[in-house]
Amino acid sequence: MRTLVSTGSPWESTVGYSRAVIVGDMIFISGTAGEGEDLYAQTRNALSTIEKILIENGFALADVVQSRLAVSDFEHWDDATRAHGEVYGDIRPAFSLVHALPFVEDAILVEVEAVAVRASA
């Protein structure tokens, strides 16, 4: 069974994607931008949004097995990874950090993706 999760963003129908897709005991969360004045704040905010999506769909932050940060402000990449470390701590999912060219909106400095597997799986 495949369940599509929407946040109502106009980008979802225009681009043809879902905020998340659930298949069985797995959830795949699309690139999620955060709000805030700098890379650290945007990363924390995006991770908070991801946690909310997880919880609303029967998952927990501890279920995350893979995380990816795409950072356009690579000069301050360590601010994004510090925020990631504070949130994931001992969970320690598989991780990728990639340098992205500017996003479609200049104010976006980071997008975060996640894959999680329910602990009961």
Query: pLDDT tens-digit profile of 44-85?
Result: 999 999 999 999 999 999 999 999 999 998 999 999 999 999
What is d(CA 35, CA 59) in angstroms, rounded to the nearest whole number?
A: 23
pLDDT per residue as tens digits for the range 10-37: 889 999 999 999 999 999 999 999 999 9
Task: Name the pairing type of β-strands 64-71 and 94-99.
Answer: parallel
pTM for the full model? 0.93
With H, G, I as helix, E, B as strand and everything else as coil, classify residue 44: helix
**pLDDT at residue 120 in the model:** 63
Residue 97 amino acid letter: L
Q: What mean pLDDT is reported for the chain?
A: 95
- What number of helices (H) and strands (E) belong to the chain? 3, 6
Return the CATH number of 2-117, one of 3.50.50.60, 3.90.190.10, 3.30.1330.40, 2.130.10.10: 3.30.1330.40
Q: Are 48 and 86 in contact (CB under 8 A)?
A: no
Domain ranges, ordered by start, for the chain: 2-117
Read off the pLDDT of residues 74-100 as tens digits, 9 standing for 90 and up: 999 999 999 999 999 999 999 999 999
